[in-house]
Amino acid sequence: MPQVCNHAMPIPLSKNIFLSISGILFLLFAFIGILFSNDEEQRIWNQKLHERSKGDLFSIWNYDGRIVYDDIVQATESFNEKYLIGTEAFGCVYKAELSSGETVAVRKFHPLEEGITCDIKSFNSEIEALTELRHRNIVKLYGFCSHERCMLLIYEYAERGKLAGILSSEEGALELECPRRVKVIKGVARALSSMHHDCSPPIVHRDLSSNNILLDSELEACISDFGTSKL
C-alpha cells in the first residue's frame, strides 16, 4: 500500500525575508500615522474652522479677528496673572475688558512648545457644540483663535463665576438660598432639555457638575465646558 506524505513544503528563505520586510514596513507606516494623526486632525479641523469663520482663523464676532485679538492681548497685558480667573488642565481663563466696553472670558490653551499636550479634541468639541447651541442657559462662544502657537476660546463673561465656587464659601452658600437654588436647577434643566430635544443630532454634555455651571449677575445659570460633549 503506498504511503501518503504529509510533510508541508518549506517556505523559501527569500519569501521569509519578504514577509519580514513587509511587517517592518507596516509597523513603520503605522508609527508614522500615529505620529502625525494629531497634526492631520488639526489640519482638517482648521479647514472646517476656516469655512465657519469665512477664512480667518482669528474669528471673533463679525469684526476683524486680528484686531480683537490684539485688543485681548492689550486688555490682559499679554495674559498677566492679575487677570487670571481660573486654571484648568490644558490652560487658563482670563478676564478681559475690551476697548469696545465688552467684558469677556478668554480661555487660553497651553502652547505646544511648552511640552504640554494641548487637548485638540476638547478645543474642537467646544467649538462644534457651541456654534450649534443658542440658549440663554448655555454659555455663549463669541469666537476663537486656532493656531499652533496660540489657541483661544472667547466666551461671554459670567460675573458670579462657577457655582462650585459660590457653594464652597459660607457667605456664598447662604446667599444662594432655596428659591435661588431652584432657579439655578430650572435653568440647567432648560438647557439640558434644549440640548437633548431641540438639537438635531442631540448634544450630550457628559461632564456636568457645579464646576461647569456659571452664574451671571442675576444668578441665572449657564452650562459651560463642552470639551467632552458628543453629538
pLDDT tens, 154-199? 999 999 999 999 999 999 999 999 999 999 999 999 999 999 999 8
Ordered structural domains, the chain, with CATH: 50-223 (1.10.510.10)
| pTM of structure | 0.70
- DSSP helix, strand, coil percent of the chain (3-state; round to 5): 45, 20, 35
Catalytic residue flag (residue 70): no
| pLDDT digit string, tens, across residues 203-222 | 999 999 999 999 999 999 99
**What pLDDT, in 10s, does the model give residues 125-151?**
888 888 888 899 999 998 888 776 778
Phi then psi dihedrals of residue 137, to 5 deg:
-105, 20
Q: What is the CB-side half-sphere exposure of residue 13 using CA atoms within 13 A?
A: 0
Sign of the CA dihedral running 200, 202, 205, 206: negative
Residue 226 contacts residue 167 (beta carbons within 8 Å): no
Q: Cα separation of 83 and 86, whole Å?
A: 9
pLDDT of residue 144: 85
Catalytic entry in 71, 207, 216, 225: 207
